[in-house]
Amino acid sequence: MRLALVLAQPDLVAGDWVMGVAGLLAVAGVVVVAVTRRRR
């Protein structure tokens, strides 16, 4: 499903990839902060 959308709209691939990476970094940051706060 997602691959079809990417092939249909190649001009949006870059923006979608950046948003995906930004989302993963945000989630990872929240997890790291939560873990560090629990350990201390």
User: What was the pLDDT predicted at 7?
Assistant: 62
Q: If you average pLDDT over each of 5-9, 28-32, 35-39, which comes out highest?
A: 28-32
Domain limits of the chain? 2-39
Report how far residue 24's alpha carbon sits from residue 31's, in angstroms, rounded to the nearest whole number: 11
User: What was the pLDDT predicted at 5?
Assistant: 59
DSSP symbols for 1-40: -HHHHHHH-GGGHHHHHHHHHHHHHHHHHHHHHHHHHHH-
For the chain, give the percent of residues with pLDDT over 90: 40
Report how far residue 10's alpha carbon sits from residue 24's, in angstroms, rounded to the nearest whole number: 22
User: What was the pLDDT predicted at 32?
Assistant: 95
